[in-house]
């Protein structure tokens, strides 16, 4: 729950503080780039509402999407988790019907993404292709949540961010 609230707050800050520029670059992790024919689910052709609904379904029934190659686009955000001493990278791919609550998918990057300079700019628009997987969170041995993520295979920065 804390994570969802933090992601929503980051999304709001990004919308208020970040403006977008022009096409910047393509960043390809060292994994093999998937041909378009190998995409199992293309979320880039969905409305934000539909993409948000699919992302929520991925959280609820991650087994249905396991090892599927997914293409998605959205706004890149990240935050530092002091508890785990790690950065969490998210792609905001849609919103609920009221337009207030973002639906996100966590992004995991491969070899070669070690420093802050290796990642896209906060708030930029990305298109990613990745393999779906998930991890579970437990508390005292009780499942509390499934967290879906895409193991990024290819990523294109569509619009860069620049602080206004």
All residues at 6 or more sequence positions from 146 whose CB lies less than 8 Å from its CB, including other chains: 59, 60, 62, 134, 135, 136, 137
CB contact set of 115 (below 8 Å; sequence gap of 6+): none
For residue 135, is pLDDT > 50?
Answer: yes
Distance CA 123, CA 109 (A): 17
The superfamily in CATH containing domain 2-163 is Nucleic acid-binding proteins (2.40.50.140)
Q: What residue spans define the domains of the chain?
A: 2-163
Pairing assessment for the beta strands 161-163 and 18-20 based on DSSP bridges: antiparallel
pLDDT of residue 13: 36
Is pTM beyond 0.85 here?
no
Q: What is the pLDDT of residue 25?
A: 34
pLDDT at 49: 86
The answer to whether residue 106 scores a pLDDT higher than 90 is: yes
Q: Looking at residue 21, what is its pLDDT?
A: 32
Structure-model confidence comparison of residues 5 and 62, the more confident one? 62
In the prediction, which pLDDT does 152 show? 93
**What pLDDT sits at residue 108?**
92
Q: Which of 127, 159, 148, 160 is nearest to 34 (CA)?
A: 127
Tens digit of each residue's pLDDT (9 = 90 or more) over 8-62: 444 433 333 333 333 333 343 444 444 556 899 999 999 888 998 898 888 888 8
For residues 99-123, average pLDDT: 83
pLDDT of residue 9: 44
């Amino acid at each position: 729950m804390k994570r969802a609230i933090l992601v929503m707050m980051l999304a709001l800050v990004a919308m208020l503080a970040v403006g977008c520029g022009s096409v910047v670059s393509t960043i390809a992790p060292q994994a093999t780039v998937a041909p378009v024919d190998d995409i199992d689910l293309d979320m880039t052709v969905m409305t934000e509402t539909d993409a948000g609904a699919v992302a929520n379904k991925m959280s609820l029934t991650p087994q249905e999407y396991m090892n599927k190659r997914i293409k998605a686009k959205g706004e890149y955000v990240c935050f530092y988790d002091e508890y785990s001493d790690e950065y969490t990278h998210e792609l905001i791919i849609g919103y609920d019907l009221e337009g207030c609550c973002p639906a996100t998918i966590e992004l995991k990057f491969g070899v070669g993404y070690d420093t802050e300079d290796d990642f896209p700019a906060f708030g930029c628009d990305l298109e990613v292709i990745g393999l779906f997987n998930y991890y579970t969170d437990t508390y005292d041995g009780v499942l509390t949540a499934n967290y879906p993520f895409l193991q990024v295979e290819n990523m294109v920065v569509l619009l860069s961010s620049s602080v206004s």
